[in-house]
Amino acid sequence: MRRLLLLITISAFSLSLFSQNDRQAKQILDKTFSAISSSNGIRLTFKGTQSGELLMKKNKFYLNSNEIDTWFDGKTQWSYVAGNEEVNVSTPTSEDLQSVNPYYLLSSYKKGFNYKYVGQKTINGKKVNEVVLTPQKRDNISSITILITTNSQPLMIKVKDRNNRENTFQVTSYNNRLNLNDSQFRFNKNKYPNAEVIDLR
């Protein structure tokens, strides 16, 4: 009987601890997502699997990476490849957006993912909170690890797939106090007069 009570107590404690971790992870993710969503303009540079510059405002973004420029105004996406002077115009799905802009992965926790607070560590002199997301259903992604500073700025996003391949997105500079014009998130044909526009919508 004592053994059974001990097992029940340990199980209850473990479930309580896991629940607390989930709540803490959600608080960190909610605060981070809110800070990004409420900003009138964010500019960051990054390195890792890819390197480049990202501008964001609400659900809009402009991404310059690996000789590809991508604009998204909240509905339409333009992808310009400098090498062949072509721009593809499309209406992307949320999955398409996540594959282009890793920051869209931050909203994944709201639907289809479990999340767990791992703990706090120090990276390059900065204290960061580590949160791990895992899909609730079998997916190409096996886990997403996010390191977030104590002032709610994502420092690193690491995506691991089912084949244990990893894509890492590490922020090297971050400014969330800009006032960006919406025109910065649309392709301007006048700046690329020789570009061939391919409409895939």
Q: How many helices (H) and strands (E) does the chain have?
A: 2, 12
Structure tokens at 175: 């400014």
Q: What percent of the chain has pLDDT over 90?
A: 57
Residue 37 CB contacts under 8 Å (≥ 6 apart), including other chains: 58
Q: What percent of the chain has pLDDT over 70?
A: 88
Are the CB atoms for 42 and 58 separated by under 8 Å? no
Q: Tens of pLDDT along 153-163? A: 999 999 898 88
Structure tokens at 123: 């990276």
Dist. CA 47–CA 43, nearest whole Å:
14
Q: Tens of pLDDT along 126-142? A: 899 999 998 888 878 89
Ordered by start, the domain boundaries in the chain are: 21-199
More confident residue, 110 or 77: 77
More confident residue, 13 or 119: 119
Q: Which CATH class is domain 21-199?
A: mainly beta
- Closest CA relative to residue 173, chosen from 68, 41, 47, 31: 47
Q: Which residue has the tokens 């097992």?
A: 7
Q: What is the mean pLDDT of the chain?
A: 85
Q: Tens of pLDDT along 80-111? A: 998 899 999 999 988 788 778 767 767 777 77
